[in-house]
Amino acid sequence: MLHIKCPWCGWRDESEFGYGGEAHIERPKDPDSVSDAEWADYLFFGSNRRGDFRERWVHSAGCRRWFNAVRDTTTYEFKAFYRMGEEPPGGEQ
């Protein structure tokens, strides 16, 4: 069981949360103008990083707010939790 820190509610067990995949993927502003390849890249191709990975979680059994986290995909250790709209810690990936 992972322990996850909701930016509002604090530490809760994983069973209260839902997972939302990779964070900071921007939807194309004008979907009609992108090519099929660009659209497929947006939809299907994540960075699949080994190590620190920025990802989205939702506190579905609590305050029901989405937020971001940085988690090491090899150890499952969380490095940071931050609110939507906040800059991710650690700079560029």
Helix boundaries (H) for the chain: 36-44
64 binds another protein (CB under 8 A): yes
88 binds another protein (CB under 8 A): no
6 binds Zn ion (CB under 5 A): yes
- What DSSP assignment string belongs to 40-51? HHHHH-----SS
Choose which of 23, 53, 59, 81 interacts with Zn ion (CB under 5 A). 59
Determine the 3-state secondary structure of 21 from DSSP: strand
- Cβ closest to another protein, residue 50 vs residue 64: 64
4: number of Cβ within 10 Å: 22
Euclidean distance between CA atoms 69 and 43, whole angstroms? 21
Q: Give the x/- contact pattern for another protein in 40-59, rule: CB under 8 A.
A: --------------------
85 binds another protein (CB under 8 A): no
65 binds another protein (CB under 8 A): yes
